[in-house]
A = this chain, B = another copy of it.
Amino acid sequence: MSNCIVAQSGGPTVAINASLAGVLKANEESRQFEHVYGSLNGITGILDDRLIDLTSCIEKDPEFIDRLTVTPAMYLGSCRYKMPQPGSEEGNEIYTQIFKYFEEYDVDTFFYIGGNDSMDTVMQLSKYASMIGSSVKVLGIPKTIDNDLCHTDHTPGFGSAAKYVAASVREVAHDAYIYGIKSVTIIEIMGRDAGWLTAASALARTENSPAPHLIYLPETAFDIKKCIADVKELLEYENNVIIAISEGIRDSEGRYISTTDAGSDIFGHNHLSGAGKSLENILKIALEVKVRSIEINVLQRCASHLASLTDLEESKAQGAYAVAMAKEGHTGEMMTITRKEGDTYETAIGSFPIDQIANGVKNVPREWINEEGNDVTEEMIDYLRPLILGEPAVSYKDGLPDYLEVPHLI
């Protein structure tokens, strides 16, 4: 009986450990692999020979899988490592080393749980395997709070982040309503190029509370003059105007509202900060009312205490499905979710060729943003609504969420 290796990569989400739990759970049932190894810090754990035996973790702690499911961020640690092109000198060395390692550990399948950049790694590795005639299967299990992967209805981790954003906006609205003076509150939400998560702020609305009153996504050009006019108009009949903006909003010429840090990472992404602060400063001068900005911080991707049960269950199901796909001999594919037609929310897990997914980006369709570019449509809200449903049973110890420890990473 052969083994498999699982690794996690990219930025944290609340659901990435649920997918790992899904792999483990499926293998507990099918006993397809003798050992499920975890590679620490993504693919670099293979290059540096840092594996742990997850099968023995389960044996030692019967609650391991359940606790893992609700533990935030990466149990196995992460990396931001861009695979070199196969064929290059550096590439040849790296790929040879990885596949030698697979042989050494009798690895049948490598599962990589990650976002867009990690799916590029899945594509490169599966291509290389086919090139050298290796039988090692390479499968991608998606995760990203950005929800920007193609050929899947939505991505693991997004529903929980969306729930956190919507709940936070609702709570901040309560915080803002208390003073009887005119005020504007700007809430900055993660999402460099895709506005899905910012759109989820719309779920905070209730029958009596229209907050957030304005929503700006990076998919449409941000017009500061129009924004000032919109807020002015709202302030005529609302005391407290709440604005949700994506960190990546930019004007019609593509200029970010804030580019305080022009540095870019190895994948060429710019690191943004301060779109909210910039807009705050502009509105303060333009409107002469109290304006404050709040950055929904990294908790939007690691607050497991407010996870979406739907998200965790679907993430787990995709991990389990990947194990089944490996058994059927699939390789070079990413797990997907398809939403069935009809009024009730039903999904099916599937898979899709990785070369049609890697390096693609799924943005919010223009028709799901209103014509004025300052709100989302009812269709968008219908799409989002089921993704945040349900609350997982997080166990509390001494008044705090009791997550699985990651001592081996320290």
Q: Which residue numbers of A lie inside 8 Å of B, CB to CB?
A: 8, 12, 40-41, 44, 71-74, 77-80, 163, 166-168, 170-172, 174-175, 177-180, 203-204, 206-209, 238-240, 294-299, 301-306, 308, 310, 385, 388-391, 396, 398-401, 403, 405-407, 409-410
Contacts and interface: CB of A to CB of B under 8 A. Distances in A.
Given A44-B180, A163-B399, A299-B299, 15 more contacts: A41-B180, A77-B180, A80-B179, A171-B304, A174-B406, A175-B298, A177-B410, A178-B409, A203-B399, A208-B410, A209-B405, A294-B297, A294-B298, A305-B306, A391-B399
A5 to B, nearest CB: 17
Contacts of A406: 174, 177
A244 to B, nearest CB: 14
Q: Which of A239, A303, A310 has the most CB of B within 10 A?
A: A303
A226 B304 CA distance: 35
Contact of A174 (B71, B171, B240, B297): B71
A404 to B, nearest CB: 9
Contacts of A206: 405
A50 to B, nearest CB: 9
A409 to B, nearest CB: 5
Contacts of A74: 178
A41 B180 CA distance: 7
Contacts of A44: 180
Contact of A204 (B170, B174, B294, B400): B400
A71 B299 CA distance: 21
